Structure 1
Amino acid sequence: MSGRKQFDVTAALDRAMHVFWQRGYADASLEALTSATGLGRGSFYGAFGGKDALFRESLDRYAATYGARYEQALAAHPGEPVRAVEAFFDVVLARIADPSVPTGCLIAQSATQAPVLKDDNAAHVRMLLDRQRERVRAALADSPADPSVLDELATYVVAVNQSLAVLSRAGATDAELRTVVRLACRTVADSLDRAAREQPPQA
């Protein structure tokens, strides 16, 4: 093996993930993917099994990378659901501002292309969105609000997150995105306060 260049699967996967992230599934051509990974077609199929399999791997790589950061932020403020949501959005804004990665969000980008995805890939995207919602919902669990209210707020937070990704790709400024986040956090806080006040008194 001396003198033979070793293939770094993780590095190649990261580069392919960036192609899907920047271009979307539909426009991520085989030529672009092989160029990014540095593989010929035969080696590309041998390493990743094809575009669809690589797309799912890229989604999982993205979800693992940023999902861990989301979990850490959401778990850092037990008993403080609003602060947890603020920390979650801090991670989102940091990702958007990172010049080393494409703008937006790979999952949001993929969700907008769900009609052209194969069924299993579209289902995979939805599963990752559901997982994000579950993380946020868990961070809200300490609130005394009715579970249905917390379910709705978790969905709302994820929807705002996806909106931030779309706005950033459209050229929204950091100040504009932070305004959206500030209003979203205020909505969460107001909703939780109102729900707490409406709770019946304990016997």
Structure 2
Amino acid sequence: MTVRGRPRGFDADAALDRAVEVFWRQGYEGASLADLTEAMGINRTSMYAAFGNKEELFHRAVARYAEADMAYARQALAEPTAYEVIESFLRANADALTRADRPSGCLSVQGGLAEGGDSGRVAKFLADSRLAGERELARRLARAVEEGDLPAGTDPHALARYVMVVSEGNAVHAAAGVPRADLHATVDIALQAIPRSHAGAG
């Protein structure tokens, strides 16, 4: 018996991009294998051969999302001051959450909101992914403290957590239909709480 392989012209990246959108719109629990394979243009056998099971496919989709849709987060870390790092991240985040060509909100926030039969593994995986980004931001802010860009005594971990709370809160509101301008208004207020050194404040 011959097992059907991948369809001719199969593009793994394009199929993964379509899986990202399904998971993003429907969450991990809400995305059925039928939804995924239909969107990806492959059958279950091909999906398992190319990506593994549904959970493994989700891990691949989140990695793809982080690489493509969250590139702005890595770019923000290269800004010269802590304030610019945070502003760049939050502004780009607000824009990304409300792109016309993508689902509203954030895959890494919405993907695991519903508990299901996976014993919380997916929710924990997403939480760990978000915490990894938070730790990376905290390292950049710690450098800013050392360089005198942030006031002495600033807790870089607490500040990074604050920034992520703002971005994740905006993600929830964006998914509920809050428009981009309102998200940026929230960013305006959030930025007022960012500590700045005497030198940087001028």
Q: TM-score, normalised by structure 2?
A: 0.84
The one of 10, 25, 28 aligned to 1:25? 28
Amino acid of the structure 2 residue aligned with 1:184: A
- Does 1:145 pair with 2:148? no
After superposition, what is the alpha-carbon deviation per residue over 1:161-197, rounded to whole angstroms, capped at 9, x for unaligned? 1111110111112221111111111112xxx24xx68
The one of 51, 56, 60 aligned to 1:53? 56
Q: Equivalences for 1:26-105 in 2 at 5 Å? A: 26-76=29-79, 78=80, 80-105=81-106
**The residue matched to 1:102 in structure 2 has which SS?**
coil
After superposition, what is the alpha-carbon deviation per residue over 1:122-155, rounded to whole angstroms, capped at 9, x for unaligned? 33212211121023213322123325x2211110
**Identical residues among aligned pairs (%):** 34
For residue 193 of structure 2, what is the aligned residue in structure 1?
187
Give the 4+ runs in structure 1 shifted more than 3 A: 117-120
**The residue matched to 1:5 in structure 2 has which SS?**
coil
**The residue matched to 2:193 in structure 1 has which SS?**
helix
Q: How many aligned positions are there?
A: 185
Rounded Cα–Cα distance in structure 1 between residues aligned with 2:43 and 2:177? 35
Distance 1:111 1:152, change over 3 A: farther
Gaps spanning 5+ residues in structure 1: where?
A: 198-203
For residue 107 of structure 1, what is the aligned residue in structure 2?
108
Rounded Cα–Cα distance in structure 2 between residues aligned with 1:68 and 1:53? 22
Gaps spanning 5+ residues in structure 2: where?
A: 1-6, 145-149
After superposition, what is the alpha-carbon deviation per residue over 1:11-61, rounded to whole angstroms, capped at 9, x for unaligned? 000000100001101110111001011011211211111211101111111
Give the structure with the higher percent helix: 1
For residue 157 of structure 1, what is the aligned residue in structure 2?
163
Of the structure 1 ranges 86-95 and 58-67, higher mean CA displacement relative to structure 2 is found in 58-67
Deviation at 1:68, TM superposition (A): 3.0
